[in-house]
A and B are shown apart, each in its own frame.
Chain A
C-alpha cells in the first residue's frame, strides 16, 4: 500500500521535474502572475535577450500603482503612469494577457486570479508578491517570490525550491456570530507568532475551515504569510468546485468533470504525517484587533493593550514599549477606548463581495464618525457591489467609494494614511509606516472596521449587530 500523503506532498510531487542530490527540486509552474512591480524581472529578461517561455501561462494584472480616484485613463501622476505603462509594454512585448486599467476585469491580482478561474486546485502558482499564498484557498500550491525568481520563471517556467516542512492548523467547532476568517487568521498568528510557520507549508483543516466560504478561505490563506508560512492551502471540496464552475478560464463540461475527479484526490490521506500540528477551538475565537506593529500583536477586542511594566522578560518589555510608543497607545489602555482617525476597507485580504457585504451590514443606516475609503478587490466586485446597492450604504455613511487596486494597503499609489493618523484597516500588515510614513494601523475584519467607523474608536462589532448579519 502507498504511504498516506498530505495535500502538500501531493501538490509537491505533481510539480517536481527533478530533485538534485542536494535536496533541491526543480518545480513546474502552472500559473505566473505579474504586476507593475515585476519590472525588475522583465529588465533581467531583456538584459539576457531572452523570451518569456510560456506567455500563455503568464497573466498580468495592474494593481499596485493604479489610482483609486480620479481618471484612470489619464493618470495625473507621471510616476504612477509610467509604472502602469511599463507593465502594459512588457506584457504586449511578450504576448502576455493583461488585465489592465482598460479591462473591466482589472483588480488586485489575488482577487482576479480566483475570480477569473485562472487559479485552480492542484496548480503551482507564483507571483512576485508575498500574498500569493492567497490562492492556496482553492487547493493550489501558491507562494510569493522575489524578482530574480520572477525572471527565472519568465525564462524557464520553473523554479528551484526545497521542500518545506508540513504544518497542519486544525480549527474545529462553530464560529460564533460576528466572527470571520480574518479573526481566525489573527488568532492563529497571535498564537504561533509572526515566524510561527516559517519554513512550513500550512494546511488549514477542521470543521470550521470546511464551513468557511471560498472568500473566507482566501482571507485565511492570504494571511498565512503573516505567520511566516511558505504557503497556505485548504483541500478543495464541493464548495471549491461550486465556486469554480462557470468561471471564465476554468475548464468546462467534460473537462471540468475530469478536473473535479483529479482535484478530489488532493485531500490529505487518512493517517498522513505532518511535521507540526496545531489546533484551535473556533468557539473560543473573539473579534480580534492588532494593537502593535506586527500582525502577531493581536488581541481580542475586549482586552487591554499590554503593559511592559508587567512583563518580566526585558527584551519582550522593550519590544512592547517600542510598539506602544510608535502606536501612541498608553500601556494597559482598553482597546475599545482607542479612538481612530480613518478607516480603510480594501486589499487582497478583505475586499471581496462578502467582505463588502459584512461591512455594509454594520454601516447600513449609520454614519461613520471618521473619513474612510472603500476600494473593492476588483472592478467586477465593484460592479456587483453597486448592483447590490452597497456603494450607496458606504457613501451614505460618509465613506469614499473608490476604484480597485492595492490602494491604502501599501500606499504606493498615493492613497496614504497621514503621519500619526490611526487607521482601522481590513489589510494584512500593521508594520511601521506600511500605510504611509508614521501611519498607525490596526488590522481587523471588515465588520470590525465598520464598527470602528460607526463608533469612532475600536469597537466590538457584536454590540452593533442587533440581528444584522455580518
Chain B
C-alpha cells in the first residue's frame, strides 16, 4: 500500500450526520467489480436524481468541489453496512481523507486498509471548517498525518486518529505480510487452543 504523509487539496463539506455507507455507495452497486469504476457512483443517490441527472444542490456537484480530495462531514460518518466498496468509491473518486467528528468503526477499519485517512476533529471544528469552505470554496486544505493537523486558511486544527491506524497509514503496511511474520506464534496458539478449548470445533457433519 502507498505510504500516507501529507497532501493539499480541495475539501468538500457535506454537512450531514450519520452519513451511512448506503448513502456513500447504494447496495445495488455492490455486485460491481472495482474495475467498473466505483468513483463515478460515489454518493450516487445523493449526487444524481432518478433520471441520472446531477442534483445541483449536492456539494460534490458544485463547480469548486467536483474534484475534491477531502470530504468534511458531521458525526458518525460511514456508519451502517460493512461494505468496503464505500471506501473504494471514495478512494477511486480521488478522496484521500475524510474529516469528521466520529466514524463508524467498520468503515474506519476499511479505510485504513485502503489508504484512506479518517481524521477525527470535534463537532465545533468540523462546523468551523465547513463554515470556512462555505465562504471560500476553493480554500486549499492541507492534511498532515505526521503532525496530525488539518490546515485550513489561517487555522490549524489538531486531529485525532488511532495511533495504530496512523502508523499503518504512514508506513503503508500490508496486514498480510505483518501477520505472516507471526506464522509460528499462530501455529503454537492453534495447537494449544485445541487442547484448551476442544469444544470450539464444529462437529463433523455429512
Chain A residues with a Cβ under 8 A of chain B: 14, 17-18, 22-24, 26, 28, 30-31, 37, 40, 43, 48, 56-57, 59, 65, 79, 82-83, 97, 117-118, 120, 122-123, 128-130, 143-149, 152, 155-158, 160, 162, 164, 194-195, 198-199, 228, 230, 248-252, 255-256, 258-259, 262, 293-294, 296, 315, 319, 322, 410-412, 419, 429, 431-434, 437-438
Contact = CB atoms under 8 A, between A and B. Distances in A.
Nearest to B46: A432
A56 B176 contact: no
A66 to B, nearest CB: 13
B26 to A, nearest CB: 6
A198 B75 CA distance: 11
A195 B113 contact: no
B76 to A, nearest CB: 4
Interface of B: 16-18, 20, 22-23, 26-28, 30-31, 33-34, 45, 50, 75-76, 79-85, 87, 102-106, 109-110, 113-114, 127, 162-164, 167, 175-176, 178-180, 182, 185-186, 189-190, 193, 197-203, 205
A79 B31 CA distance: 8
Nearest to B123: A315
A251 B204 CA distance: 10
Contact of A198 (B16, B22, B104, B201): B104
A252 B201 CA distance: 12
B70 to A, nearest CB: 21
A162 B186 contact: no
Given A248-B205, A252-B203, A24 B50 contact: no
B84 A147 contact: yes
A172 B80 CA distance: 28
B109 A149 contact: yes
A431 B164 contact: no
Given A148-B84, A249-B205, A28 B189 contact: yes
18 contacts: A17-B186, A22-B163, A28-B193, A57-B202, A117-B203, A120-B200, A122-B199, A146-B106, A148-B114, A156-B180, A162-B164, A255-B198, A412-B31, A419-B50, A429-B20, A429-B81, A433-B23, A437-B45
Contacts of A437: 26, 45, 50
A186 to B, nearest CB: 15
Contacts of A26: 179, 182, 185-186
Contacts of B17: 319
B31 A162 contact: no
A411 B84 CA distance: 18
Contacts of B16: 319, 322
Contacts of A258: 198-199
A129 B82 CA distance: 6
A160 B104 contact: no
Contact of A155 (B31, B82, B176, B201): B176
B87 A146 contact: yes
A189 to B, nearest CB: 11
B167 to A, nearest CB: 6
Contact of A431 (B23, B162, B200): B23
B203 A198 contact: no
B60 to A, nearest CB: 16
A228 B189 contact: no
Given A130-B82, A258-B199, A431-B80, A17 B205 contact: no
A143 B23 CA distance: 22
Given A148-B84, A194-B79, A429-B80, A230 B105 contact: yes
A197 to B, nearest CB: 9
A253 to B, nearest CB: 11
Given A26-B186, A198-B104, A419-B50, A130 B80 contact: yes
